[in-house]
Every structure is written in structure tokens, then in C-alpha cells.
Structure 1
């Protein structure tokens, strides 16, 4: 252990990022403590990835079993399908409890000290901790990692009551199934909740302020996803419209306005409203001012590629920040990767995060996944660096396994450099897209070309052959 300090490493925040950093720190021989004021596991385990996937799994089964046309095409006929909302909610809650317990026990088993309370910087290499009973103590550490996570963003004019107007934090509890629910935002969170609610019989109005649905996704993927995930379902869409004002109650009153002109366009009354307008960093009250660190204009903690905190362009010694709080890429697995990278640099092994190879997914039915650049971003990079890009596509309707499952809605799109063939981005919409994307993620991490990938052998018949076909089409162009 470092001489003169209570710990080699203190981590503030026990979410997925802090947990990953702690596990790696122990493997590197560092005496480690982790501080958490709220729930062990942070957003991902308690209010995000884990409970939402449990809800999606259950509601997805309901959707599948109620799709009489699809089942009949496979030679299957069943009677009416019933579900218990509370039992589905319990499935999510029980999973949260299990994962939270597993995470906590893994830290204890490895000798990580878990300190309950609010941790904040109290000077260079010092952390003060305020406990629930108002007590306070200060500990020292050679290095400190900040991993405070994020909270839902609620736009001005929207009032949250947690019951009739709520964010994903309350939505994952599935305390009710409103007959008519408005969802504000068509990103990952909005899409997944529209999938859950529509499968369980709710009518939905999806409100998107920007001029197209699924604005963060590649356009080819978004077009097909809209045709499959939104159009045939009981989902009304309002695009280029924003919720100027949302008033909780029964009913919930939503005043809608044109996003560009700000002119009022409509007032709707619904049973509930889910606000899915993204997340913002939880970076208040961390004591950063005690070491001269200022947040950037969006309240993220400025860091370099090594995860070292920066102040006025200079590195702050022995202070690191990972996960949603630094704004690099707001995904749970990215936070975990950043935690490992920070520890690697703490122990003197220079490493940086390869953000282009970090995949993302929306766990709708079917799923959406991607890694790397969109076609638009790739074109911009090509113009800046002087190369042309090309794309190739393949479709699930030509895949034997997809046809056997009678799940042929889907597409894989590969974006690559014309000159070298290097893969810049891969986007998949279709059955098990979130599992399939990792082959592409590894290819991008290793800067592989479509020429080399086209000669890999995939098991037949598997969905992975959709990607195989896309690579082969690329070299045939």
C-alpha cells in the first residue's frame, strides 16, 4: 500500500463503472475503498439496464404469444394469453435485488471496503464522507476516481410527480399500465418503453422534438425500425413537436408546440407521461472546487483520454473521472471500460479507450444495435481526412435461420473506407442484433478490413451469416 495514505484508491460511486474499477484495482494489488450514498449498482442495476431488460423480456413474451398470425405460420395455435402486471414488476424487482447483492458480495469477497455515505473531494488526495446520520469523516488516498453517474434530464416546463408524469427511474417499477401513455423522446429509453407498453396493451403517443424519429440512429436502420417497431403498433407519433408544458394529474395535460417556430400546435390529455429526454451528469456537490476543477458548459467533468481530470487544460494529479459524469459516452459498459482504463493508468500502464469499438443496443423486439460511425459521421470523417466511404447491406429475409424463426424483418449495414476497406461502422436491426454486434465491435477494435472479414467462416445456419453476407457484398462491389 502507498505509504502515508489510508487507501491506494478511493472510488466515489458504486455503479457499474465504479464496480469495474474496484475489481480491476484489487487485481492490480491496490488497497481499495468504494463510497456509495444510495443504491449499490447505481443507475444500471437499480433503475436502468437491469430492470428494463427484465420488463422487456416479459413483455416480449406476451407480444410473441399474442401474435397469432406468427405462431400459426409455425404451426402453433394457443388460446388467450393473460399476464399479471405485478408479477412482471416483481420479476424486475427480484432481478435488481439479485444483481445488487451479487455486485456487493463480489466487492466484499475481494476485500474492497464499502463505505456508505456521500463522498466528495476535500482537497488533494482527500475525501470527506457524510453518513446518513449526519456524521462526517475524512480519508486519504493516493488516487481518487469519481464515478457519480447521471440522472434523467427533465426539460423546462415539465413537472414530475413520479406517478402520472415520471422518468425511467419510476417507469421501471411498472406500478401501473396507463390506457394512454405519452412518451417524450424516441431515443433508446423511449423506444424500449414503447415496446414494453405496447406489448402490454397500452395506447402510446410518441413525441419527438427533432425532425425525425430515432434521431441518434443510422437513417437506413431507423427507417426500417420505424416500419416494424412503430407503424404497425398502437403508437401515434408527433415529430418536430415538443412538450412545452406537462401538468401531472388525472388526466395529464400536455401542451405541444412546434420545435422550430415555438408556436402552439395542440393540447392533449393522457393517462400518464413518461419523460425519456436523455440523461445529465450527477456532478453537483462533489467538492471539485477544492482542487480547482470547473465543470464544462454541460456540467461534465473534463478528462483526457486516460480518464485523468483536467483543470484549465492541465491534468489534476491523482484525480480521475469515469462513466456518465465525463460525458464521453453514456453507456454502462463504457463506464466499466473507463474504470479499467483509469486503473491501468494509475498503476503506470498507459492505456486509452477506443470509443469507436464500443457497441450500443436498444433491446426492442426486434433489437437495434450498432458500433462505430453512422454513414453521415463516416462521410464527414472522410471529407476531413481525404478518403471516400462505401456501404454494403444484407437482409434477414435472405438468412436461413431468420426464415426458420419466421423473423425475417431486419438489415445489417456495413460502412467502410473505399481505399483500405477498413470497417468504420456496423448497424444491425433484427433478431438478436445486440448479440451479433460484438463480432463487428472486435473487427473495428482491430481495424480490420472488409476484405479480411469476408473470408471468415460462419456457422450455418446462423443469424451471424447476415454480417458475413454484408462483408462479402462489400468486396463484390
Structure 2
């Protein structure tokens, strides 16, 4: 079988690239070893949001009296919550199957491996081998849960994100190692469902990639929710010989032992580079990533790589954007290279976190003179009416030219607000223009205007 483009991996990088390639008239095949949609759709972004929604509904019911509603005591059916999440993921995977048929993309199930001479070898579940050829081969094999030497996953007591989504019963207690997006989302989910949660973070702040003000606010919100947080701490060992786990945690004050039912390792993601033919094809890697140029060409002509296996943020929307740019370049178009400093990051714990661009610390380090404005949701009419006053919006501008350098948000539904900032930065919008763009009232979004007004000494509602 000969194609214009073969893509290995059908996650949000791979399947999006396949659809765009087909739209551009390229004969396309996609190779997938497990389920269409990859980890994001089947075991990541989508089903976790379903779990988090169930937790949010449970939280609403438990606080119904705050809204003047009387209810009987709510009880979480943990198995039903998990079942709903899996149903959402399955429905989305079927949606990708439909899109493959609609766009006349050949789906080849099996484990793909690149070979020299523009070839892909696919090993089926039954052991059979098929060889495909293409002028262009795109690697989009994604990532998996990173294993720490001191926290070896056994899939039962020490688990990764995948097992955390389908536990047979709700644990009474859990230690989560790492407080990036995966760690804090599961911390919120399990704590809300009734598990006693302890988060252990090696860095000084939780959600360490975020602006420090955001990290401090999430810490306050988590403590209020009963989640214990240990920063500047590391898990040295886990003893699973007894009924549960004994976790040895090294802190500034010395060693501590925490007993729990389950340890969730959420220390990040590692790229899937093993056994995909990189060495025999001569494709260069560096620091656990495939080396690519701005249009995702690898060191070998005709071979490309996108998504979690290349440098840049390991996010679904980044992989999709990279896939589109990659195939548009293959098709002879002139796409603009991706601006990695204008990629929004979203974390779906409660309160939600959304950010784009420079943090205050990074902007100062880059030599900018800053105008910074903050608007707390406690001063927002919509947030007060919704009973969601935790959090704020922080806007960072260059004092000299008014360039919008970054935005950092924590609060209810802020993941829906960040796109305004991404578009504004893409259009090179200034602080003055954001300030004079009339925002609707009462909305959470007007806090963007108010925070900008604060930066320029014109804030009305503070």
C-alpha cells in the first residue's frame, strides 16, 4: 500500500493531521495500536473532564443550601461516575472513527514502526506484519505517565493517571506525587468525592509552571477544601508490603511517613520513543525528544514528528496545531510557524486555572518594564451571584508599548475566558485597546477589562 502521508498515532496530533492531509487531497493512512483518539481522548483530556464534572455536580448538591435549595443528603456512586466517564470517552472515539470514514482515511490497526526507505511496518495484534510506504511519514506517538525511580508503578497500589480513572472502588486516602495539571485535577476529583488527599510537590509552589500568585491562590483554595499540600518535598520510597502504602516523604523539617490506600504518580509525561524505528532510520533525538525544525521535519528527509515526542508544551491543542502546520507544509502551502509563547494552558481543578504568555517573573527576567493589574472575583457581580468568588485575573503589559505580555487566571470557568487573550495577543492588541473594548456585564469576562484598568490606574470596581 502506497500513500502520500502515513501517520503513526491517532491522538489529537495524529488524527487532526490525517484529516487536514485528506482535505488537502493527500492519500492518507493512520496507524493506531489501541483506540482511535489516542490517550487524550480515551485516557486523558476528555474522560478526566467527565470525572471532574461529576465531582462538581456532587459539590453543588452538597452546597445546595448556600443557594437556598433544600436537598436530601447526596451520595456518590463511584462506579457509576467511572462508568459515565468511560461512556463519554467511547462516544468521542466513535466520533473519530466517523471522521476517518468521512475523510476517506485508511485506518490500520497495529503497532507502527518506521523503516528506512519511507516505509512503515505495522504489527497486528495477531502477530501478522504489513508494510506500507509513503512519500511522507509523520510520527505522532504521544507520551505516557513518567515513572519516578522511588515511586515504581505496580498498577494496583502505586498507579498512574490511567488506573486513577478506572479504580474499582474509591480509596479512603491517597497520596498524589506531583502537582502539575494531572496531579491537581485528580486531587480535586478524589477530595471532592470523599478521599483524604495529600499532594507532594518537589518544587516550592504547586502548579509550578504557573505564575506564583496563581499557585498561592490554588494552595489557599485546596487547603479550604481539606486537601493537604506538601511543597519542597519529595517521596523517597513507598512500602506496599502491608494492606496499604507507607510513603516516606523528605521535607525541610525531616522525614515523614504518610499512610494511605493508593499512591498516584503524577510527575509528568515521558515521550513514547521506544521501538518505533528511530535508531534504524537514523532519526535524531535529544533529551528524550525527536529533533525537528519549525515545520516538524526530522533529521531524515520525508520523516516528520509532532506532539508530545517533540519539544514544546505537551498539550493536545499544541499537537493538533503542529499536525496542521506539518501537513500544510507537505502539501506545498506556506503555513506560519507556531508561536509557542502564545499557547494557552488550562487546568481543570476547582478553581480552574488558565494562562498564556509570560509570567510576571519571566517577563521581568526578559527585561520588560511592566504594568500589572489584578481583579479579584470577590469584586465581580457575576462571580458573587454564582457563589464562585475564589480567584482573580492578572494581566501583564509592557509599560513602554502596551504589549499584552501575559494573562493568568484562577477561578470558575476561566478556561473558557483565556481564548480572548490568545486572540488579542495574536492580533498584537495593546492594553489600551483591551481596556476600551466594552465587555458585557455581568460576566466573569469583564474581569479582564477591570484587571487591565487596574494596570493603567483606571479601575472602577476596586
TM over 0.5: yes
1:305 matched to 2:289? The reply is no
Report Cα offsets for 1:227-256 as digits up to 9, x if no partner: 11x111222222221111123352112122
Maintained 8 Å contact 1:157/1:244: yes
1:63 matched to 2:56? The reply is no
Tell me the distance in 1 between the aligned counterparts of 2:182 and 2:417: 21
Q: What's the TM-score, normalizing by structure 1?
A: 0.92
Q: What is the CA-CA distance between 1:467 and the residue it aligns to?
A: 0.6
Maintained 8 Å contact 2:284/2:298: no
Q: What is the CA-CA distance between 1:44 and the residue it aligns to?
A: 0.4
Q: What is the CA-CA distance between 1:264 and the residue it aligns to?
A: 6.3
1:465 matched to 2:446? The reply is yes
**Which of 31, 35, 41 is the equivalent residue of 1:35?**
31
1:405 matched to 2:386? The reply is yes
**Which of 14, 18, 29 is the equivalent residue of 1:22?**
18
**Which of 125, 132, 148 is the equivalent residue of 1:155?**
148
Maintained 8 Å contact 1:357/1:442: no
Secondary structure in structure 2 of the residue aligned to 1:309: coil
Which residue number corresponds to residue 361 of structure 2? 376
**Which of 54, 77, 80 is the equivalent residue of 1:87?**
80
Identify which range, 30-39 or 230-239, moves more after superposition: 230-239
Secondary structure in structure 2 of the residue aligned to 1:454: helix
Maintained 8 Å contact 1:251/1:269: yes
**Which of 200, 218, 239 is the equivalent residue of 2:193?**
200
1:215 matched to 2:215? The reply is no
Tell me the distance in 2 between the aligned counterparts of 1:264 and 1:428: 34
* Residue-pair matches, total: 456
Report Cα offsets for 1:34-70 as digits up to 9, x if no partner: 0011221111011111111000000111112112xxx
Report Cα offsets for 1:410-469 as digits up to 9, x if no partner: 200011111111111111111110001110111112221111111112222111101111
Tell me the distance in 2 between the aligned counterparts of 1:151 and 1:183: 17
Which residue number corresponds to residue 236 of structure 2? 244
Tell me the distance in 2 between the aligned counterparts of 1:373 and 1:206: 26
Tell me the distance in 2 between the aligned counterparts of 1:409 and 1:289: 50
Report Cα offsets for 1:154-195 as digits up to 9, x if no partner: 100222221221010111114221111111111111111111
Tell me the distance in 2 between the aligned counterparts of 1:349 and 1:377: 34
Tell me the distance in 2 between the aligned counterparts of 1:176 and 1:240: 31
**Which of 320, 326, 332 is the equivalent residue of 2:310?**
326
Maintained 8 Å contact 1:15/1:40: yes
**Which of 268, 271, 275 is the equivalent residue of 1:285?**
275
Which residue number corresponds to residue 357 of structure 1? 342
Unaligned runs of 5+ in 1: 311-315
Q: What is the CA-CA distance between 1:102 and the residue it aligns to?
A: 0.5
Identify which range, 352-361 or 183-192, moves more after superposition: 352-361
Which residue number corresponds to residue 50 of structure 1? 46
Q: What's the TM-score, normalizing by structure 2?
A: 0.95
Identify which range, 8-17 or 285-294, moves more after superposition: 285-294
Tell me the distance in 1 between the aligned counterparts of 2:445 and 2:231: 34
Tell me the distance in 1 between the aligned counterparts of 2:413 and 2:167: 25
4+ residue runs of structure 1 moved beyond 6 angstroms?
Answer: none
Change (3 A) 1:431 1:11: same
Maintained 8 Å contact 2:111/2:124: yes
Change (3 A) 1:139 1:170: same
Tell me the distance in 1 between the aligned counterparts of 2:102 and 2:291: 33
RMSD: 1.6
Tell me the distance in 1 between the aligned counterparts of 2:25 and 2:240: 52
Tell me the distance in 1 between the aligned counterparts of 2:191 and 2:332: 51
Which residue number corresponds to residue 313 of structure 1? none
Unaligned runs of 5+ in 2: none
Change (3 A) 1:396 1:258: closer
Tell me the distance in 1 between the aligned counterparts of 2:259 and 2:155: 17
Secondary structure in structure 1 of the residue aligned to 2:337: coil
Secondary structure in structure 1 of the residue aligned to 2:98: helix
1:186 matched to 2:175? The reply is no
Maintained 8 Å contact 1:160/1:248: no
